[in-house]
Amino acid sequence: MTFPRPGWVSRCLFVLLGIGDSSVEARQAPVAQQVKVFLDCSSQCFEDFLRTEVTFVDYVRDRTEAAVHVLITRAETGAGGREYTLAFIGLPPFEGVNHTLKAVTTSSDPEDVIRRQLATALRIGLLNYVTNSGVPQQLAVTVKLGSEEVRPAVVGDRWNNWVFSLAASAAFAGEESSRERALGAEIGADRITPDWKITAGLEIDHEHEEFDLDEEEPVIADRRERDFRWLVVKAAGEHWSYGAEGDVESSTFDNIKLGVGLAPAVEYNVFPYSMYTRRQLRAMYSVGMQWARYYEVTLFGETEEALPQHEMSLTYEQRERWGSLEARTQWSQYLHDLDKTRLETEGQVSVRIARGLSLSGELEASRIRDQLFLPARGATPEEILLRQRQLASGYEYRFSVGLTYTFGSIFSSIVNPRFGN
């Protein structure tokens, strides 16, 4: 189920439930056995608000104590809004009672409209379990659909699904012996439909730093980045996609005065794309050309060159009751010199091991054999310390792990906002 525009919903759809809800709490004792719900949200879904507004169930902090597992995921829409997917998973005694609801918001919707739409979706979804064995005597539902405020269906879009964004930033800092400033700007254009995905963006960054080191002239460090990227993708069924991507860039950090790249690509998803909120296994292959002109002569004596390259990647994403898993492996190779390769792997995992016990880990690692752009001269100490130049390296890695254990009361329905959360 997909809800209409949240502003319309907030005016035209009201679901009022009378089981332990705030509207009847003063005149009615709480129900003895309320449905136990585990609210599982990986990104911002206004959990405190949902617990406060939807009060006819009991929220538990451990999924093993729940009768209903509500898995909330979100994805960005083509218009810059959000599509929230609420997967209701029945556990004993509701084994097999599963369903999914969707709530779509726009980029202009205020936070209160978004969270109230999520609360409405949560109420509607939980009704299946509250009434599973019969309609409770205390249940009262009032539904209001349609009014003079209902707008006719949109028959056309003068923007033809295009969404544009502009952003600019400036930051200044200083002390007696140093000063720095950072300027940035971004321009974006996107057109997202079920069959096409077209994105383009320009990003400009300029960082300037000055240091007084008891010398006649201050030490000045500049770092400039310019990057224009685009992507065009055409859907070809539930498993295949094809398209092309490219970029035009300039970077003092990477010694690239001007770089231009173009690469056609094809992607296969083992699972249907319609399952994207729960599970994806995508394999992509691209082959193309990169042309680069350098600020300084490279280690290989080049000031400009054309570089054929191909790339393969495998991405897996899964979100289930037991936790979440994201993993990606990417391998690239220059075709004019097959020894010039790069292998990158990254992954994140969060697993609920047992009642109250969860394990999380994150890994990023790279094997680097393709730094063709490095300047022939070595980096100065100032450039190294201030990270003004990319340095030669055969590998990079980062790893973190965490273990969390909670115990005590299984209920988590009460929200107290005093002194912050």
Model confidence pLDDT, tens digit, residues 76-123: 776 667 888 888 998 888 888 898 888 888 776 777 778 888 888 999
Confidence at residue 294, expressed as pLDDT on a 0 to 100 scale: 94
Pick the CATH number of 6-130 from 2.60.40, 3.30.70, 3.40.50, 3.90.1640: 3.40.50
Residue 294 token pair: 């350098």
Residues paired with 411 in a beta bridge: 60
pLDDT-derived band of residue 392, with 50, 70 and 90 as boundaries? confident
Hey, is 258 helix, strand or coil?
strand
d(C-alpha 383, C-alpha 378), whole Å: 10
pLDDT at position 203 is 97
Question: Residue 140: is its pLDDT beyond 80?
Answer: no
Gap between the Cα atoms of 318 and 171, Å rounded: 38
Instruction: Tell whether the model's pLDDT for residue 154 goes beyond 60.
Output: no
Where does the pLDDT of residue 420 fall: very low under 50, low under 70, confident under 90, or very high at 90 and above?
low
Domain boundaries, the chain: 6-130, 161-234, 237-406
| pLDDT band at 145; cut points 50, 70, 90 | low
Q: Above 90 in pLDDT, residue 227?
A: yes
Cα–Cα distance, 293 to 302 (Å, whole number): 9
Q: Are 116 and 10 in contact (CB under 8 A)?
A: yes
Number of continuous H segments (helices) and E segments (strands) in the chain: 4, 17
Percent of the chain surpassing pLDDT 90: 37
Choose among 43, 47, 127, 49: nearest CA to 88.
127
Compute the distance between CA of residue 86 and CA of residue 104 in angstroms, rounded to an integer.
11
pLDDT at 417: 59
Instruction: List CB contacts of 250: < 8 A, sequence separation 6 or more.
Output: 224, 225, 226, 227, 256, 257, 258, 259
Residue 338, SS3 per DSSP = coil
User: Beta-strand (E) ranges in 99-236?
Assistant: 99-105, 162-175, 178-192, 196-211, 219-236
| Model confidence pLDDT, tens digit, residues 393-408 | 889 999 999 988 877 7
pLDDT tens digit string along 23-51? 333 334 444 478 889 988 866 788 878 88
Residue that wins the pLDDT comparison between 252 and 16: 252
Write the CB contacts of 316 (distance below 8 Å, at least 6 apart in sequence): 280, 281, 282, 325, 326, 327, 328
* Bridge partners, 248 (sequence order): 228, 260
Q: Coil, strand or helix: which one is 71?
A: strand
Rounded to 5°, angle at Cα 316 from 312 and 317: 145
Report which DSSP code applies to 252: T
Which residue has better confidence, 46 or 240?
240
Residue 233 near residue 241 (C-beta atoms within 8 A): yes
Residue 321: which of 34, 3, 92, 82 has the closest Cα?
92
DSSP conformation class of 378 = P
At 351-369, the pLDDT tens digits run: 878 777 888 899 999 999 9
- Which structure tokens are listed for 85? 């997917």
Nearest-angstrom CA–CA distance, 115 and 110: 9
Q: What is the pLDDT of residue 133?
A: 73
DSSP result, 293-312 = EESS-BTTS-SEEEEEEEEE
Residue 399 has a pLDDT of 94
Q: Which residue has the higher pLDDT, 134 or 231?
A: 231
Chain-wide mean pLDDT for the chain? 82
Q: For position 82, what pLDDT does the model report?
A: 81
**Cα–Cα distance for residue pair 18/256, rounded to 1 Å:** 65
pLDDT surpasses 80 at 149: no
For 323-359, b where at least 16 C-beta lie within 10 A, e where not — what string? bbbbbbebebbbeeeeebebbbbbebbbebeeebebe
